[in-house]
Chain A
């Protein structure tokens, strides 16, 4: 199975600060069709997970553009340009390039 390693496990930020989360895969997520199925979700307390970024860098409809994704192959990054209070939660990367789908361990974003 593909192992996704997220760093850091915990992130403390002030409002307005820009932060990045890394997601490294144990194998390339680039499929032969040219697609890379690496997505980013956030799980806020008491809520269902929410899709933020799909296919590495595509912003889901309705998600603020302070969220951005980048990367290729085995290394991927989620960036939040200017953290807001509502961004607190646990961020997960998830891959669907290779069955079974697997999640990263999560990165908890806290306010400093």
Chain B
């Protein structure tokens, strides 16, 4: 069974960074791209970017190029997303999702940016 298990909720200070994880099980992480999606409260889904875990190649949406950094650790079958210089605009739930078909999703990580 394919599962994407994400790390827990985060409460972080403005200006700081946070790194959230997405551990894949039931398949080899390198067999599929991993995408990341943002959803702010009461708003729609926004694509952040994707990583090819096999070689680390990344593609980002323009607005996230200086905000998000995607990485992958093949040894632990885990993908990561780091968000930097956090502001209230980054308060949201972040999902990892497998492949360009978005066929499996993590449960989401709620990041709250507050002083």
Contacts and interface: CB of A to CB of B under 8 A. Distances in A.
A11 interface: no
Interface bracket on A:
20 to 34
A92 B105 contact: no
B47 A103 contact: yes
A102 B47 contact: yes
Contacts of B100: 37, 96, 101
B1 interface: no
Interface of B is mostly: strand
B61 A39 contact: no
Given A39-B101, A41-B102, A54-B101, A49 B59 contact: no
Nearest to B95: A48
B53 interface: no
Contacts of B106: 48
A50 interface: yes
Interface in A6-46: 37, 39, 41, 43
B62 A51 contact: no
Interface bracket on B:
20 to 34
Contact of B103 (A51, A90, A100, A103): A51
B35 A105 contact: no
Nearest to B103: A51
B103 A92 contact: no
Interface string A78-112: 00000000000010101010011111111000000
A105 B97 contact: no
Given A102-B47, A105-B44, A60 B108 contact: no
Interchain residue pairs A-B with the least CB separation, the first 9: A48-B105, A96-B100, A101-B47, A100-B61, A103-B45, A106-B44, A54-B101, A51-B103, A51-B102
Given A49-B97, A92-B44, A103-B45, 17 more contacts: A1-B62, A37-B100, A48-B105, A49-B37, A49-B95, A51-B101, A51-B103, A54-B101, A60-B103, A94-B47, A94-B102, A100-B47, A100-B61, A101-B100, A103-B44, A105-B44, A106-B45
Interface of B: 35, 37, 39, 44-47, 49-50, 59-62, 95, 97, 100-103, 105-108
